[in-house]
Amino acid sequence: MLEDPTRKARLALASGSPRRLALLQQIGIEPDALLPADLDETPGRNESPRKLAARLALEKAQAGAQVARARTDLSPCYVVGADTVVCVGRRILPKCETLDEAEDCLRLLSGRAHRVYTGVTVIDPQGRDRSRLVEARLRFKRLSSREISAYLTSREWAGKAGGYAIQGLAGGFVVKLVGSYSAVVGLPLYETRALLDGLGFPSDAAWAAGASA
């Protein structure tokens, strides 16, 4: 069946992250669907942090696009995929699931610099993909045992790369940030808009409607 050329393009976010959803909504983009991908995120042998972030962003977008193509309510559809990797040197920190993992990450990050790589990929309705990789450099204050214990008790670390969420309590640990704040949260907004616009998605279409609402 031929697609109706007048049909409004849909957009799907290949993520179940409430942070990435909130970031898209911040710039006036409301996804028509959330299509989180269930991928093995284990780094490959000798895979660098930047290559891991780029690869997983592409694979998430590809998985989302495959689901979107099978749904008539999402045709035609743009798909956005992203992944964030926190590292110290070449050491990739986990997306923490246990208290011990989170404590290890916080003690490692305490008083030192680290990097955050966020990859973002957009796939258009014709299957073309475009990607960007964004690097941010951060430095944490030296954390006391009390601060680490309190943060662990908050459980904000759960599921977070590097064991922290900059948009939450851990924002008070950051002495210096060079780069994109939104990328550290999980989705680089400038680069995401640029990719969408470059592939023909009207990322600002809802702005005028929002202003008149």
Tokens for 132?
Answer: 């960007």
Is residue 125 a contact partner of residue 77, using CB atoms and an 8 Å limit?
yes
Q: Is 40 a catalytic residue?
A: no
Instruction: Select from 179, 157, 178, 154 the least CA-distant residue to 166.
Output: 157
Reduced to 3 states (helix: H, G, I; strand: E, B; else coil), residue 98 is: coil
Tell me, letter by letter, the H, E, C secondary structure of 112-160: CEEEEEEEEEEECCCCCEEEEEEEEEEEECCCCHHHHHHHHHHCCCCCC
Indicate which residue of 4, 32, 38, 83 is catalytic.
83
Reduced to 3 states (helix: H, G, I; strand: E, B; else coil), residue 40 is: coil
Q: Quick one: how far is CA 146 from the chain centroid?
A: 30
Tokens for 49?
Answer: 């942090």
Catalytic residues: 83
